[in-house]
Amino acid sequence: MKYNFSWKFYVGLIILILSFVVAKGAQVIFIMYYDNFLLRQISLVLYILTWPMLFWGAWWSGKEYTEKVKKYFSYKYYHDTAKNKLKRKKTISQ
């Protein structure tokens, strides 16, 4: 089972990972430099900006992944797979 994803999937995945990394970095900066007002505000703005990145990355990568995997949760896929395997077994045994 091999999936061929588009560039949107991979870019969305990178955006998702980047949003988590930037958010954790902003949290660390916020805690480490709590006394510095400017760094605290910058880290707060960075953290707030990671939320749209998170949703954007989830939208791009999740939409395509859901479409690819959706067929495996349907009865028709398993019915057709079983039928095809049974046909192959009949042709091999004859």
Q: Which residue has the tokens 């042709």?
A: 91
**Whether the predicted pLDDT of 91 surpasses 90:** no
Q: Which residue has the tokens 């994803």?
A: 5
Select the more confidently predicted residue: 26 or 85: 26
- In tens, the pLDDT along 44-54 reads 999 999 999 99
Question: In angstroms, rounded to a whole number, what is the distance separating the alpha carbons of residues 65 and 82?
Answer: 24
**Whether the predicted pLDDT of 21 surpasses 80:** yes
Sorted by where each begins, the domain ranges of the chain are 7-93
- In tens, the pLDDT along 29-83 reads 999 999 999 999 999 999 999 999 999 988 888 877 777 777 666 666 677 777 7
What pLDDT was estimated at residue 9? 83
Token readout for 82 is 């079983």
